[in-house]
Structure 1
Amino acid sequence: MIRQFEWRDYDAVTRVWEAAGREVVPRGELEAKLARDPELFLVAETGRRIAGVVMGAYDGRRGWILRLAVHPDHRRQGIATRLVEALEARFVRLGCPRVNLLVLPDNESGLRFWQELGYLPCPDVLCTKPMQGGAVSAG
């Protein structure tokens, strides 16, 4: 079952991120994200266990898919695809015209997964700048 994240899921979600080798989003950062678009943070349950997670963001112009992860014990069961499809449906309901995501250049299986879902690689250059004082305390 795919559903919206609830705070009681946080520990289970962090275990999925850790098992999948993803960086854990600290509580403070997640609180700020959920204040904006909580309906775009989804979890996949298998039985009563969180097996997968995806976080989306929408700024009114573009959607972003972030932090897709499936616990290694639950891979190759279509969970990632179902999470993405559910998130895409929510983007459509919001009127989102385009969705972006980032894939590391050496992640061949990840790139293949996204291409199978219709996402096309773009030759854009990612630039990033950490904002001083922009970090939210994890409290």
Structure 2
Amino acid sequence: MVIHIRQFQWSDYDAVAAVWIAADRDVLPRAELEAKLTRDPELFLVAELGGAVAAVIMGTYDGRRGWILRLAVHPAHRRKGIATRLVDELESRFRQLNCPRVNLLVMPDNTAGLQFWQALGYLPLPDVLCSKPLQVGRT
């Protein structure tokens, strides 16, 4: 079956949400995606099989580093090379932006995910992730 990769369109939202749910990932609300898409919409990609969304990858570029924010493949379509194709296309788009490095986060218990990323040349670093939730909407 032919894999077709293209930029996300708003008409894909329900299908993308279904992939995230099937892959046991949180669904990003429309408002959050709207904010992301004002920055670099060309880095939010879907992969179609037979005209249906089977996988999705979302990246961003801050002018210094590229980030792969999330990758999800519907469980019914795993082990078909779709994730690798999506990563290849996203990396190509990063190169077009003259992005010198791409980062991503893998949860410590995601052994299969870590193996996948390492097979693509992503190396674990001993960095410490620090995070702080911000309250928004308050002045």
TM-score (norm 1): 0.95
Q: Does 1:9 align with 2:12?
A: yes
Match of 1:55 in 2: 58
Match of 1:73 in 2: 76
1:39 to 39, 42, 51: 42
State the distance in 1 between where 2:111 and 2:129 align. 18
State the distance in 2 between where 1:77 and 1:51 align. 11
1:132 to 110, 115, 135: 135
Query: Residues 71-119 of structure 1, C-alpha deviation per residue, up to 9 Å, x if partnerless?
Result: 0010000000000000000000000000000001111100000000000
Per the TM alignment, residue 134 of structure 1 is displaced from its structure 2 partner at its CA by 5.9
Equivalent residue letter for 1:84: V
State the distance in 2 between where 1:101 and 1:74 align. 23
Describe the SS at the equivalent of 2:135.
coil
Match of 2:22 in 1: 19
Structure 1: segments with no counterpart, 5+ residues: none
State the distance in 1 between where 2:137 and 2:10 align. 23
Is contact 1:22-1:67 (8 Å) kept? Answer: no
State the distance in 1 between where 2:98 and 2:40 align. 14
State the distance in 1 between where 2:48 and 2:78 align. 13
Query: Higher RCO, 1 or 2 (CA under 8 Å, sep at least 6)?
Result: 1
State the distance in 1 between where 2:9 and 2:137 align. 25
Q: How many residues align?
A: 135
Is contact 1:57-1:63 (8 Å) kept? Answer: yes
Structure 1 segments of 4 or more deviating over 6 A? none
TM-score (norm 2): 0.95
> CA, structure 1 residues 48+120, in 2 after alignment: closer, same or farther (shift >3 Å)?
same
Match of 2:116 in 1: 113
